[in-house]
Amino acid sequence: MADTSVELCGIRLTNPVIAASGTFGYGYEFAGLYDINCLGTFSFKGTTHKPRFGNPTPRIAEAPAGLLNAVGLQNPGVEAVISQELPKLKACFHKPVMANVSGFSVEDYVYTCSMLDQEPQVGWLELNISCPNVHGGGMSFGTDPAAAGAVVRAVKAVTTKPLIVKLTPNVTDITAIALACEEAGADGLSLINTLLAMRIDLDTRRPVLANGTGGLSGPAVFPVALRMVWQVARAVHIPVVGLGGVSSAEDLLEMMLAGATAVEVGAANLVDPYACRDIVLDLPRVMEKYGIEKISDIIGAAHG
């Protein structure tokens, strides 16, 4: 029988399939469709210190083989997440969950992470450093090694849970950011976040998204994500979670061969709400097809 289990930062997963933040709500939204405990885990909706309404509409646009979004981190704020969302999540999901955290200053990240670190069901903190640093001229924390290192160091000082830092692909050298995060104490890395992109409406001659630009996800970004996972996994000594355009068990195996310990599935959930479940169910068949008995054995195997 195929062994699909992996260990991510000291926590065992029954399989490496993780539903990605922003595509799976707080879990209970999908629990009415299938038993979400079949997943390795999921990363819940990006949470900030204060409530956020998000960007003006339209904030979703289709693209060939993908999707653009500029939702703007809409969420009720960390205190409401803890008091209202997590109890509903606990009723339908009985495994450690990944808490995705966003912020616009180091202080934001520190406050939100310190709050979620106290929640028993939170297994990992996933730090989204693609947010604009309001004290740094609006540049994303994730585009500057010094800024990335500073926020990781500050969060590690107030938390005890494993810290996985989610990296932006909108940089010249993603390995430089990855190494800065590792040096600052990150326990793991997840990549990639969305690629900056846009569409223009030919009738109005204006950008389709009210925000102008948005983040591209879906199958179109998979080869880029795979390349970056390959590069980062070769450069660091901490676990890597691969994501970006994954929509099948075969894609998952590619990510793991490139060096991913676990794999997040994002935009595919918005196309087919059963996507994660179907990947979990199909994984033993695909492992058998390629002669894989224990999935953890193939992590980074393509590196030679």
Residue 137 has pLDDT above 70, yes or no: no
Helix (H, G, I), strand (E, B) or coil at 248: coil
Q: Which of 85, 137, 87, 77 is nearest to 108 (CA)?
A: 77
Q: Quick check: is 34 in a domain? A: yes
**Does residue 255 fall inside a structural domain?**
yes
Residue 35 lies in a domain: yes
Say what the pLDDT of residue 70 is.
93
CA distances (Å), 86 to each of 15, 18, 81, in order?
23, 18, 6
For residue 15, tell me if it sits in a domain: yes
The token pair that represents 240 in the structure block: 């890597």
Q: What are the tens digits of pLDDT across the range 22-64? A: 999 999 999 999 999 999 999 999 999 999 999 999 999 999 9
pLDDT score, position 134: 65
pLDDT class for 253, splitting at 50, 70, 90?
Answer: very high
Which amino acids are annotated catalytic?
A: 131
Q: Tell me if 159 is assigned to some domain.
A: yes
Q: Which strand (E) or helix (H) includes residue 207?
A: strand 206-207
Residue 1 is assigned to a structural domain of this protein: no
Burial label for 231, CB within 10 Å (0-12, 13-18, 19+), is middle
Backbone angles phi, psi at 219, to 5 degrees: -55, -25
Per-residue burial over 265-301, b if 16 or more Cβ lie within 10 Å, else e, is: bbbbbbeebebbbbbbeebbebbeeeebeebeebbbe
Confidence at residue 131, expressed as pLDDT on a 0 to 100 scale: 79
Distance, CA of 242 to CA of 219 (rounded, Å): 14
Give residue 138's pLDDT.
63
Mean local confidence (pLDDT), 158-174: 97
Phi, psi of 5 (to 5 degrees): -75, 150
Residue 255, burial from CB neighbour count under 10 angstroms (0-12, 13-18, 19+)? buried
Q: Report whether 282 contacts 251 (CB < 8 A).
A: no
Q: What is the mean pLDDT of residues 173-191?
A: 98
Residue 133 has a pLDDT of 66
The domain spanning residue 169 has which CATH number?
Answer: 3.20.20.70
Whose structure tokens read 């934001």?
A: 108
Domain that holds residue 80: 6-303
Per-residue model confidence as pLDDT tens digits over 264-284? 999 999 999 999 999 999 999
Please give the pLDDT value at position 7.
98
pLDDT, one tens digit per residue, over 86-98 is 999 999 999 999 9
Residue 181 lies in a domain: yes
Q: DSSP label at 75? A: B
Examine residue 291 and state whether it is found in any structural domain, yes or no: yes
Task: Name 265's bridge partners.
Answer: 19
Query: Do residues 226 and 256 lie in contact, with contact meaning Cβ atoms separated by under 8 Å?
Result: no
Intra-chain end-to-end CA distance of the chain, in Å: 26
Amino acid letter, residue 297: D
Q: What is the mean pLDDT of residues 167-171?
A: 96
What's the number of domains the chain is made of?
Answer: 1
For residue 52, which amino acid is it? R
What is the average pLDDT value for the chain, to the nearest integer? 96
pLDDT in tens, 184-242: 999 999 999 999 999 999 999 999 999 999 999 999 999 999 999 999 999 999 999 99
